[in-house]
Each structure stands twice: as structure tokens, then as C-alpha cells.
């Protein structure tokens, strides 16, 4: 019996979709499609960085029609499985498979040593990104030097004018031409929300995670902002967003401001909830990346990161404190009080009005 393992539809361990749907066999299958390139992407984490690497999928599909893309990550749940042929969670089984396969292109965009070690040993005709050499992570070739240096030296990072997307496309030898993030909306999951259908929704993503707490905006500021937004946009629905870590602060903001708060949810539910928003106000967090991936309008609050790093795709603007930030990529403030407290709520509200 003829087997065509080089077909895009081939599974091996289970029947392929054309066989299940139409009963086709490999020997005379009318939808046989030969794999043009086998591409391995190693992008482990964090979730936000995984999301903002997905535009590469669009580029590879355009450059290599019929390619098969395999993605290895710590967080497979965030990736759109409808757009990627194989999504693998980093574990022993996945590593066995990846290391004993042949790839046309292999890319590692992480600086974790285990990711660099994998790129070093994987069997690929062409490699890009970062590799383990002399027991340390280093750029595989000249294409990765710029991104490597911005991660090594603060002065180089501060002077950088390239977005993250431009940098990772250049690592692979390409130019970013506006390719968007990819994400499933999870509308097919049947989630229902107690939200008005006749109002635009402004989402307030109030947290910033535990690593870079210099970004945190106080509860008082959020309460003030809600009051201003209610006056300036009386027909809008103000919705508080966040995870379990933000639950207590969101409940207090809800109590003091009257903004809506539905609670915290699973990742898929959170994505689907954000998809109901017209505009989201957020720090540089996973919520920011989800907002951009869903194509929503955004007002981005930023103090400690290089603003050139972020591509908002023309959907909003970055708003910074009135006080210059001294804490570039620092988790705690050198002055003891974060400059975020010098970001007026009115300044955020004005940005909302420009994009709402």
C-alpha cells in the first residue's frame, strides 16, 4: 500500500483529515500536497513574547507555500492551532521528536540555554537566532547580533529604534511589512458574558505582573480614570480586566468607581472577554499582547521600556508619565516611588478620546 509521508495532511499515528472526510487513500488522493519546507520555530516564553512572534507564520506561509510549521513552546495554549501545523509543549517527548527529525529551517528566538542547546544539535539545513556556544548563549550569525546586543547592554537598548517585530524578522533575514499577530478568539467555545450589546466597551487592564512592579499604577489613579471616562464617554461601558493577582484590586476599584467587573477567568476566557472590548487601556503585559493580537484599539501605559519596541499597528498610542523614568528594565524604583504616579489620569483619558 502506498504511503505519502511527505504530504501536508499526513499524520501517521491517526488517519488524515481527507481520509476521514472522503475516504481517500495516499495512492490516488486528489488533495495530496507535498510539504515544501519543514520549519521549526523555538519560542518558549513568556506568553506575550510568544504572541508577538506569530507574525512570522504569515511571512513563512507567503515565502514557502505548502510549508509545514512546527512550534515548540512552554505555553502551547496561547498559539492559534488553526494556523500552525504542529504545536508542541517543551517536554521529553517533544525533544525526542525534534532532535530526531530533519528540518529545512530551524529558528530559536529565545536566550534560554536549553533553547540554544537544542538549536545547536538539531538537524537543519538553515538555522537562525541564538545558539549555545562555549556554554553561553550567542548569536548564531550576524543577523542575530543586533537583537543580542540590545539584550546585553542598556545603553544599546535605549538607543534602539527598531520594534521587536522588526528585530525578529531581521533575525530570519526578512523585513517586517505589517504582518499582524495571530490569535484565536475562542468564540466557538460558547462563552457568554453579562455585557451590554448596544455600547462600546472600554477595558481597563489594571495589573502589571509581579516582575516589573515599577509599572504599577495605583488604585486611586484607576478610580480617578473611571470617573473621568464616565463623564467624557457616558454611553461607554467601563470593564475591569485582570487575572487572579488583580482580583482584590479590581474589586476595590469596582466598589469605589462603579466600573463593571466580572471576575478572573481561564486564559481562553480572558482572550474571549478582551475580544468584546472596543478599546483597552493597559500596561506592557500579556493583556497588551492579547489586545494587539485581537486587533483592538489600545492606550498603552509605559515607563520602563523603550517605546520603539512596541508596534501598535496604528491602533492607538503610548502614554508615558510626565516625569522621566530612571528605571530602564528595573523591577523596583530607584527613587522608591514609581514615576507612574506622575502619569495623570486625564492624560490617559485624552488618549482614549483620540482613539475611541
**Same domain, residue pair 57 and 167:** yes
Q: Is residue 191 one of the residues assigned to a domain?
A: no
Q: Is residue 247 one of the residues assigned to a domain?
A: yes
Sorting pLDDT into bands at 50, 70 and 90, what band is 38?
very high
Number of domains making up the chain: 2
> What value does the mean pLDDT of the chain take?
93
**HSE value, Cβ hemisphere, 13 Å, CA-based, for 299:** 26
**Residue ranges in 86-185 assigned as alpha helix (H):** 92-99, 113-121, 145-152, 154-159, 164-171
Q: Which three cell numbers stand for residue 293?
A: 493580537
Q: How many CB atoms lie within 10 A of CB 209?
A: 18
**Same domain, residue pair 222 and 341:** yes
Q: What is the pTM of this model?
A: 0.92
Q: Is residue 68 one of the residues assigned to a domain?
A: yes
Rounded to an integer, what distance in angstroms lies between the CA atom of residue 147 and that of residue 170? 9
Burial of residue 215, with CB atoms counted within 10 A of its CB: 0-12 exposed, 13-18 middle, 19 or more buried = buried
- Identify the domain containing residue 50 by its residue range: 35-171
CATH no. for residue 52?
3.40.50.720
Q: Is residue 214 one of the residues assigned to a domain?
A: yes
**Same domain, residue pair 230 and 317:** yes
**Same domain, residue pair 107 and 230:** no
Task: Tell me which H or E stretch contains 104.
Answer: strand 102-108
Q: Which three cell numbers stand for residue 16?
A: 488524515
Q: Is residue 20 one of the residues assigned to a domain?
A: no
pLDDT digits (tens, 9 = 90+) for 88-144: 999 999 999 999 999 999 999 999 999 999 999 999 999 999 999 999 999 999 999
**Same domain, residue pair 323 and 216:** yes
Assess contact for 213 and 332: CB atoms under 8 A: yes
**HSE value, Cβ hemisphere, 13 Å, CA-based, for 108:** 25
Average pLDDT rounded to a whole number, residues 146-168: 93
**Same domain, residue pair 270 and 348:** yes
Q: Which pLDDT belongs to residue 305? A: 85
Average pLDDT rounded to a whole number, residues 294-322: 93
**Same domain, residue pair 137 and 271:** no
pLDDT digits (tens, 9 = 90+) for 190-240: 999 999 999 999 999 998 876 656 778 899 999 999 999 999 999 999 999
CATH no. for residue 301?
3.40.50.2000
Q: Is residue 265 one of the residues assigned to a domain?
A: yes
Q: Is residue 25 one of the residues assigned to a domain?
A: no
Amino acid at each position: 500500500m502506498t504511503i505519502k509521508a511527505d504530504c501536508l495532511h499526513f499524520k501517521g499515528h491517526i488517519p488524515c483529515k481527507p481520509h476521514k472526510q472522503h475516504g481517500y487513500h495516499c495512492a490516488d488522493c486528489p488533495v495530496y500536497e507535498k510539504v515544501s519546507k519543514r520549519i521549526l520555530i523555538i519560542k518558549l516564553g513568556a506568553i506575550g513574547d510568544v504572541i508577538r512572534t506569530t507574525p512570522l507564520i504569515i511571512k513563512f506561509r507567503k515565502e514557502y507555500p505548502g510549508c509545514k510549521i512546527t512550534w515548540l513552546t512552554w505555553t502551547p495554549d496561547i498559539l492559534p492551532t488553526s494556523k500552525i501545523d504542529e504545536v508542541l509543549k517543551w517536554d521529553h517527548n517533544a525533544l525526542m521528536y525534534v532532535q530526531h527529525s530533519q528540518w529545512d529551517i530551524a529558528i530559536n528566538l529565545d536566550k534560554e540555554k536549553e533553547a540554544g542547546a537544542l538549536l545547536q544539535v538539531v538537524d537543519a539545513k538553515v538555522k537562525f537566532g541564538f545558539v549555545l556556544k562555549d556554554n553561553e548563549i550567542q548569536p548564531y550569525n550576524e543577523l542575530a547580533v543586533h537583537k543580542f546586543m540590545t539584550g546585553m547592554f542598556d545603553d544599546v537598548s535605549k538607543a534602539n529604534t527598531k520594534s521587536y517585530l522588526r528585530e525578529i524578522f531581521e533575525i530570519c533575514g526578512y523585513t517586517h511589512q505589517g504582518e499582524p499577530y495571530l490569535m484565536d478568539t475562542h468564540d466557538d467555545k460558547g462563552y457568554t458574558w453579562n455585557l451590554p450589546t448596544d455600547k462600546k466597551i472600554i477595558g481597563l487592564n489594571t495589573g502589571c505582573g509581579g516582575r516589573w512592579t515599577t509599572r504599577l499604577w495605583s488604585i486611586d489613579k484607576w478610580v480617578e480614570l473611571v470617573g473621568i471616562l464616565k463623564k467624557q464617554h457616558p454611553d461607554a461601558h467601563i470593564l475591569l480586566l485582570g487575572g487572579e493577582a488583580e482580583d482584590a484590586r479590581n474589586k476595590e476599584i469596582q466598589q469605589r468607581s462603579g466600573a463593571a467587573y466580572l471576575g478572573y477567568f481561564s486564559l481562553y476566557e480572558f482572550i474571549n472577554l478582551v475580544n468584546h472590548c472596543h478599546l483597552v487601556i493597559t500596561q506592557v503585559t500579556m493583556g497588551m499582547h492579547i489586545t494587539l493580537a485581537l486587533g483592538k484599539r489600545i492606550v498603552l501605559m509605559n515607563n520602563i521600556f523603550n517605546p520603539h519596541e512596541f508596534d501598535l499597528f496604528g491602533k492607538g498610542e503610548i502614554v508615558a508619565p510626565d516625569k522621566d523614568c530612571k528605571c530602564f528594565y528595573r523591577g523596583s524604583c530607584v527613587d522608591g516611588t514609581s514615576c507612574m504616579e506622575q502619569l495623570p489620569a486625564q492624560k490617559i483619558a485624552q488618549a482614549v478620546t483620540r482613539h475611541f
